[in-house]
Amino acid sequence: MFKKYLEYLYKRTVELNEKNIISQLEINPEAKYLDLGCNDGLETIKRARVIQPKDIYGIEIIRKQAKKAEKRDINVWIGDLNKKWEYPNNYFDVITANQVIEHVSDIDHFITEIKRVLKKGGYAIISTENGSSWHNIFASIMGWQIFSLTNICFKQGGIGNPLGLHRSGKISRSISSLTHKTIFNYCGLKETLEVYDFRVVSYLGSGYHPFFPNLGKFDARHAHYLSIKGIKK
C-alpha cells in the first residue's frame, strides 16, 4: 500500500510539474521553439500545441530517442548540451528545459548558451528538482544524501540514502547525462538566472513529498519540482 502511495505521489507530481510548464507558455505563431533534452519529443509536441510555433527544435544526446522525436517533425540536433550548440545568436523565441539542468556538468555554459540563442524579449522555462523540498531537508537532517542527489555514481544508484530510488541498480556508464551534478535550492535557481540578466516573471512549485502533491503550488520553496520563467532583457 505504501509503495503504491509513493508511486501515486511521483506520478501526480510529474503531471503537475508539466502543467506548471504549460501554464507559463504563450501563444506565438511566429515563434521558433527549442526544447532542451527533448527525449522522444512527446512532451515537446504537447507544449508546442500551446505555443503554436512556426518551427520546433530539440536537442537530445541519446540518438535512439532523438530519432523518435524527429518522426514527430521536430528538428533535432543530436548533441551534448555541455558543448556549444549549433544554433546562431538570437534565434529562438521560446526555450524549455525540464529536468535537464541538474544533469549538465557546466551550469555557466548552459545558461550562457540559453541566453546566446534566445532573442531579446524571448523567454526560457527551466524546471528542476528542489534541494529545499521537505523530503530533501529530512534526508539532510538524517545525515543521508538528499534524494535529488543520490544518482551520482555509475556503480550504484541511490548512493548515501537507504530510501533512494534505484538504490540497488547501476547507471549506464555510456550516458553520463543520467547522473545528477547540480541541485538548486529555491533562491539559488532564481539568482542564477538573474545574474545572467534574465527577468524572472513566474516561479511555480509542484509536489510536496510526503504530503499531497497539490500543496506544492502554495509553497514553491519546499515543493519537489521548481519551474521558473525568465525573460531575456
DSSP codes joined into one string, 172-203 = -TT-GGGS----B-HHHHHHHHHHTTEEEEEE
Instruction: Classify 198 in phi/psi space as left (phi over 0), alpha (psi -120 to 50) or beta.
Output: beta
pLDDT higher than 70, residue 2: no
pTM equals 0.94
Distances from the Cα of 30 to the Cα of 51, 72, 93, angstroms? 9, 19, 9
Q: What is the pLDDT of residues 37-94, one digit of tens each?
A: 999 999 999 999 999 999 999 999 999 999 999 999 999 999 999 999 999 999 999 9
Helix H or strand E segment including 51: helix 42-51
| Residue with grid cell 548533441, as numbered in its chain | 79
User: Per the CATH hierarchy, to which homologous superfamily does domain 2-232 belong?
Assistant: Vaccinia Virus protein VP39 (3.40.50.150)
Cβ neighbours of 112 (radius 10 Å): 13
Q: What is the pLDDT of residue 98?
A: 98
Give CA–CA dist 227/204, Å, rounded.
5
φ/ψ region of 169 (left if φ > 0, alpha if ψ in -120 to 50, else beta) reads beta
